């Protein structure tokens, strides 16, 4: 049985808001705080680490980004949060080159929040530098990168946390526990539903990078391409194009879907399925014009060794399957009322839908049922209480709990909840499904030899060329 760090309090129980003094604010001497550097200091990094000043066991001491404007903006924002919390920062050092940050001996851990194509190369470098790593999802942009990440974490033995923060929320944990403990009977099928990638974007006009933007460093291992606003800046429509260009990512098949695939993997790891699905067949659509070139539609059946099917689809494709659960879900993205992001577990006696925002079940009363002391309990890494002054939105609380779980691991040596093995297994589903779409052919995965069988084109795409002297080892 997997035991929890504390008794499960029920999905409806929210963390209490408590004074900072109750958390020991000011009681930890600076020398005992975990010092963290951030690599990739854009909007996501700032959003997730705004919670750091609310906790006395950690301090942000350095920021790195290829864009000077982002470095300066992150420093201003985060140092203001520290000041507003009554604990002024000692000053955050700024770096344009992540290697300079990694050379600093006073940094214990590094939060990697770069574009996807940099995740694994920097993760490996962080491990080699002897520092702990919290890496944003998804993991790699190739299967080779996933296994390079696995090898590095195992070799250097530092504390790794995968940035799928839904593991640190009480309702998601409860939803997975319901499935593990047979509340919906035997699992007959699993669906993973993700929003689709966007199409469009323009490679023109070609312009010079803004002042203070080291474009060559930003590209790093990715191919050299002419600079344009839609490539790596927020374009005219405010779109984050880096999520939809194949040079830098797999699109929402990986970036958004990573949250849902991680929830399935959390269940799979505790239901006897240590290997990812082994057979992949289906289809999808890739853009034929514009700058964005990741799959915007997909319908892939991923079959485990025991025959169970994980049906991986975009939200519009999911809506076309009448046999799948389709409850109204009027939360999450504005104006969307259908199932638009979810890990869906369909059993012989009901179903559980774990979306990013909420868990929905059939029968509805399942969420009120109690997981008994002798049943399966997943580790509880949700915040037990919210420091006064910390933002209390759903994502803020989830990410704060997830980062605190990493900090706790650094201080105690205890493995965090987002382990590298689970990250690789869930990421492989994205990688292999995307190759089915890109090649137009089915494939088989050999989990022992860790290679693709039956699709030579896809097998050659297990790795990507690396530009300009960068490497994974």
Backbone torsions φ then ψ of 454, nearest 5 degrees:
85, 10
pLDDT above 60: residue 2: no
Q: Over the stretch 101-135, which tens digit does the pLDDT of each residue have? A: 999 999 999 999 999 999 999 999 999 999 999 99
Q: Over the stretch 293-305, which tens digit does the pLDDT of each residue have? A: 999 999 999 999 9
pLDDT band at 238 (very low <50, low <70, confident <90, very high): low
Q: Quote the CA–CA distance of 310 and 276 in Å, as a whole number.
A: 10
Q: Quote the CA–CA distance of 204 and 244 in Å, as a whole number.
A: 16
Provide the mean pLDDT of the chain: 92
Quote the pTM value: 0.93
pLDDT at 326: 97
pLDDT band at 188 (very low <50, low <70, confident <90, very high): very high
Backbone torsions φ then ψ of 266, nearest 5 degrees:
-60, -45
Q: Over the stretch 33-62, which tens digit does the pLDDT of each residue have? A: 999 999 999 999 999 999 999 999 999 999
- Which CATH class for the 16-166+385-419 domain? alpha beta
Q: Over the stretch 408-434, which tens digit does the pLDDT of each residue have? A: 999 999 999 999 999 999 999 999 999
DSSP state of 67: B
3-state DSSP percent of the chain in helix, strand and coil, to 5: 35, 20, 45
CB 428 within 8 A of CB 80: no
Over range 149-164, report the average pLDDT. Answer: 98
Over range 80-89, report the average pLDDT. Answer: 91
| Structure token digits, residue 206 | 């070609």
Q: How far, CA to CA in Å, does 416 sit from each of 384, 394, 413? A: 16, 21, 9
Backbone torsions φ then ψ of 193, nearest 5 degrees:
-120, 130
Backbone torsions φ then ψ of 274, nearest 5 degrees:
-75, -25
Q: What percent of the chain has pLDDT over 70?
A: 92
Over range 198-214, report the average pLDDT. Answer: 94
Q: What angle do CA 164, 393, 86 make, to 5 degrees?
A: 105
Q: What is the 3-state secondary structure (H, E, C) of 384-420?
A: CEEECCCCCCHHHHHHHHHHHHHHHHHHHCCCCCCCH
Over range 208-224, report the average pLDDT. Answer: 96
Q: What percent of the chain has pLDDT over 90?
A: 86
Over range 457-466, report the average pLDDT. Answer: 97
Q: Quote the CA–CA distance of 104 and 89 in Å, as a whole number.
A: 18
pLDDT at 468: 83
Q: What is the 3-state secondary structure (H, E, C) of 271-339?
A: CCCCCCCCEEEEEEECCCCECCCCCCEEEEEEECCCCCEEEEEEHHHHCCCCCCCCCCCCCCCCCCCCC
| Structure token digits, residue 417 | 């909840």
Q: Over the stretch 13-41, which tens digit does the pLDDT of each residue have? A: 445 444 443 333 445 667 789 999 999 99
Q: Check the CA dihedral 328-332-335-336 and report its sign.
A: negative
């Amino acid at each position: 049985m997997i035991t929890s760090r504390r008794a499960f309090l029920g999905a409806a129980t929210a963390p209490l808001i408590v004074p900072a003094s109750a958390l020991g604010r000011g009681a930890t001497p600076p020398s005992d705080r975990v010092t963290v550097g951030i690599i990739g200091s854009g909007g996501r990094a700032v959003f997730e680490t705004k919670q750091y000043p609310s906790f006395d066991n950690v301090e942000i001491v350095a920021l790195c980004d290829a864009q000077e404007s982002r470095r300066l903006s992150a420093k201003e924002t985060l140092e203001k949060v520290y000041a507003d919390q009554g604990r002024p920062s000692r000053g955050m050092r700024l770096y344009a080159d992540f290697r300079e940050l990694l050379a600093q001996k006073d940094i214990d851990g590094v939060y990697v929040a770069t574009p996807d194509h940099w995740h694994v190369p920097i993760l490996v470098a962080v491990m080699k530098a002897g520092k702990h790593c919290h890496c944003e999802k998804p993991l790699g942009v190739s299967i080779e990168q996933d296994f390079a990440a696995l090898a590095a974490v195992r070799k250097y033995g530092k504390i790794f946390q995968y940035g799928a923060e839904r593991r640190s929320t009480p309702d998601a944990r409860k939803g997975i526990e319901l499935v593990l403990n047979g509340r919906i009977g035997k699992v007959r099928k699993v669906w993973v539903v993700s929003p689709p990638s966007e199409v469009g974007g323009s490679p023109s006009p070609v312009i010079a990078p803004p002042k203070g933007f080291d474009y060559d460093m930003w590209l790093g291992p990715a191919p050299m391409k002419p600079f344009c606003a839609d490539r790596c800046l927020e374009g005219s429509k405010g779109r984050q194009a880096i999520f939809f260009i194949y040079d830098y990512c797999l699109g929402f098949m990986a970036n958004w879907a990573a949250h849902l695939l991680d929830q399935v993997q959390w269940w799979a790891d505790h239901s006897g399925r240590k290997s990812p699905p082994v057979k992949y067949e289906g289809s999808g659509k890739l853009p034929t014009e514009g700058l964005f070139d990741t799959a915007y539609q997909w319908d892939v059946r991923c079959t485990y060794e025991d025959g169970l099917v994980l049906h991986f689809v975009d939200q519009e494709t999911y809506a076309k399957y009448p046999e799948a659960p389709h409850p109204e879900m009027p939360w999450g993205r504005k104006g969307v009322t259908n199932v638009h992001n979810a890990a869906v577990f369909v059993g012989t006696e009901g179903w559980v839908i774990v979306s990013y925002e909420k868990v929905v079940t059939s029968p509805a009363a399942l969420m009120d049922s109690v997981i008994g002391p002798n049943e399966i309990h997943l580790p509880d890494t949700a915040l037990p209480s919210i420091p006064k002054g910390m933002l209390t939105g759903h994502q803020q609380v989830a990410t704060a709990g997830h980062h605190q779980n990493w900090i706790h691991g650094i201080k105690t040596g205890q493995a965090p909840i987002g382990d590298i093995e689970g990250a690789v297994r869930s990421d492989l589903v994205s990688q292999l499904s995307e190759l089915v779409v890109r090649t137009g052919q089915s494939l088989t995965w050999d989990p022992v030899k860790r290679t693709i069988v039956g699709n030579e084109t896809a097998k050659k795409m297990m790795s990507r060329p690396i530009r300009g002297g960068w490497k994974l080892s």
